Each structure stands twice: as C-alpha cells, then as structure tokens.
Structure 1
C-alpha cells in the first residue's frame, strides 16, 4: 500500500514535464538521465499508474497531471514559507501563473493585475471553455473560465457575465445582410477566432439558422478580431466594451438594427475564477483584485 509520495520523485516528474525530455530534466536537476528515468519508474510503480506519455515533448497522463499539480502547489507553498521565514532566495519575485481568455485579456483583466504590485505574472491565453484544462494539468495556479464546476483541488467563484454584440461594418451589412438574419447570416462571410470558436454559429442557430457561413476568416487575437470586423471582412460577435466606441463612431452597426425582428439581440458568457485551494498570500491577493475588477467591468 502506498503511504507517501517521495518528494524528490514528484519534483523529478515536474522537471521532466517542464523541460520536455528526460535529458533536459537531468541537466536541470544535475542528475544523469538514468537517475531521472529510475525516479519516474519508481514513482509509477509506487502509484501503480503510468504518469507520462513518452512523446516529444513528454506529456503527463491524467494521473500524471494530478501529481504535476501537486508538485506545483508544493513549490508554491515552499516559496511562501521561505518568504515568511526570510530565508535565502525569498527575495525573488513571486510568480503567479494564470490562464485567461483573449477577450478578458484585451478588455478588463490586465487592470486587475495592476492592483497587485510586486508579483511576476505568467499568463496563458486560452479560450474560456478550455482554460480549466490548464488548471487540471497543473500548468497554471488559477484561471478565468466559463465552467462553474471546480477542477479537483480548486475553488470557484463567479465573476460576472461578458456580453457580446453581433456587429458588422455598415458597408458589409448593406451588401450581405439585406433580409432576415436567419436567412442572410448562413451565407455571409464571418470572422472567427480560431477553429474552436463556435460562438458565431451559436448566434445564428439561436436566430433560427443552422450555423454561420463557410467563408470564415480566422483572426486569433481579440484586437485583430475587432479590426477585421470593422474592416468589413465579415460579421462577428464582439465584446460590448470593444464594440460600443465603434458603434458610436459609425464604424460598426448592430445586426439587430438590420433585422429588428431578430429573436436574439446579444449573447452572454458567464465567467468564473478558479484557483488552487492553497493558503497563499500572493494567490489570495490576485483573486481579490480580479474579483473586484470583474465586478466593475462585467455584468452581474
């Protein structure tokens, strides 16, 4: 029966995942590759599970991700303890890794980080439907996500709702959207973030159509997405805070102004903050700042 997890083996697993190969992990740990391999095999035998996919770079299995997350949490607690004790190395900046969706990053999220000085932030940009996976894999300590279901070992709290408006350039609307949206949108060019983005399809389906058109422009940055829509490449769902100044300037029009009978005027995404259940002052400070900023920037 397994009674404990040898910390040197757990830390070695983390090094292999972070470095990508056994050889690179050996160099980082000042060990031989054979010693690294033996530690991983011993940990796998102890847990009775395969922990790594031997690919290039190596990737943790589902069981391995649990131990990687544990190793990162352990490292976080150790750094916090060293800081409280004033031990050597405690003066190094505290690093906090967070997964955040592109639209939050482009609109309100960075303002929250300015309220927590003295920290180093490592931001991972990912779709809000997929940020929780980075938490599950132990790659980040916290995430802005659309999932209200907590990742194992994490707490979750609501942030608010981000509203998206269906918009297009006036010239584009006059050329492509001259009838009911349920009829015109399935044939009109559309801007999407990437292959994971089905937000525009969801709007068309809720408007009575079968999905957005097949002529799709992939623009994988929030600012570039808005620029592509304003330039007339296609229509798209744009965050309210980004759309409003362009609507006022006449560079964009609401699709509901083209079809006042459209059943859907906007779409909203509920956002949540998930983080490790750790008594970490740095993580607590970030959570407080993010929650406060979201309360002002998002809809309740």
Structure 2
C-alpha cells in the first residue's frame, strides 16, 4: 500500500527526512513514532500527497504522488491532528459537504452518512451543531468524515490527543474495527499505550532517520528489559542515587522526577536498593513499555 525507498524531504538547507525506507502491506496498522522534529509530520505529508518528495522513491497504492496525486487522494482518508470541522453546519451536513467534495452522488453520500454516524455512535447527534459536541464526539466525527470516500488507507495524525481515557478507548475500538474490515491504518501518536494497542508494526524516527523498526513487542524485547523499577527521591537527588546503585540494574535512566532501573526482576532490584539503606519516597515495578524504548533510542521522552 505504501512503499518508500531512500525517501527525503528538504526545506532549503534543512533536511527533515534523511533517506528512510518504509513498506506498509495491505490491512496493516503502521505507526510513525518519534520526538517532535523527528520528521514524522514531513513524512506523513508526503504520504498524503500534499508535500512533494525531495528525493528517493515513494509509491502510494502503486502510484507516483508526483503525477497521480489526485487519484491517490481520492482513495485515502486523512484524519488531521486538529478537528477542522465546520461549526456553521450540523453533524450530518459536515459529512454531506465532505462527501460532495469527492464527487459522490447525493444518494450515495446520504447512505454513507447513515452508515458512518452509526459506526462512530453519533446517529442521535445527526442534527446537532458541532460546537455542542464534546471533544470525543468531535474526534469521532472527524474520523467519520475521513471515511466518507471509503478509503483504502486511513492516515491518522495523533488520533486521540487531548481526549479522556473513555473517549480514547471508544476511538481505539472504532479503529480496530476498521482494521478488521481491511482498511490499512497509518498513524502517529504521542501515547505509548496507543501505539502498543493499535499498531502491528512501527518505526521510531529521530533527526529525520529511522532508528528502529518492528512490532511493539519486538522493539520492547530488543531495546529494553522485562521489568522496570521506578524510584522517586527528592528533587535533585536522582543523579547522586544513580551513581550509588548503577551496579544493581542492567541499565539506569535518570529523569527529573524519578530513577528508572531496568532488569529481569524489578522486585529484586528494589530489595537490593533498600539493602543499601536507601529510602525512596515512592516505588513502582512495571513491565517495560515503548516509552522505555524511546528513552533508550532517543534519550528523551516523546513529549519533549
């Protein structure tokens, strides 16, 4: 569905994307993860055929964006990070106008509106004004709008940013159902749990390059330990404590508010720390996650 070889994007002398290779098969949920400025948005804009390729090769649905842009855009759906809904129109009208942009017949658009409102659980809000919707409802409407043309690829930029946990899970469920229907999903997200839940495969980008690729479990297995012990001490104490316990873990990360100690047995790490008469204000043992992979690969959390 998507094939990139040596893909590059430059803005003057600045190279935002520095020769990446990406392959997305049909029906896969594929993620682009990385810190701000990593090159994710530039890559997504090239895939959406709204930003020209500076170098390398890019094929979407087997077509060349440089010459087949309109044809590609007619077969993909895009859910932007911001909800760009028309507040002057009601819910159903937002979908109707968008469907007509694609040249769909009026009758087809009306059928699609009914199907999509049912799919995103907004049937009872069909005549409601957009400004009266909750944040989660607006997000579901934006996703419904991106599906009006029955796209083969759905591109989602931060699909659940700013939503409460309940709204996020509702959207996760809708996206999972789309994948079951054979829609190829391509997404960026700042939420590590979202990437673990939704993506079959993902790439980690940093400074315009791909620094790791694999399934969430493969990346965690490759770049982190089985468990992590989190220890919180007083402000400014973590650097000093790290030097005292560095031999107790496979790896240590020092964050401003806590100390992360990586190993196969988090409880044993905590016992060893207490045995040295160190008394953290709070402790937690958890399994490794994609956020730990980020710390290992980029040296910072995704939201920095």
Bin of the TM-score, shorter chain as denominator length: under 0.3
- The normalised TM-score by structure 1 is 0.27
Answer 1 or 2: which has greater strand percent.
Answer: 2
TM-score normalized by structure 2?
0.27
Q: Which of the two has greater helix per residue? A: 1
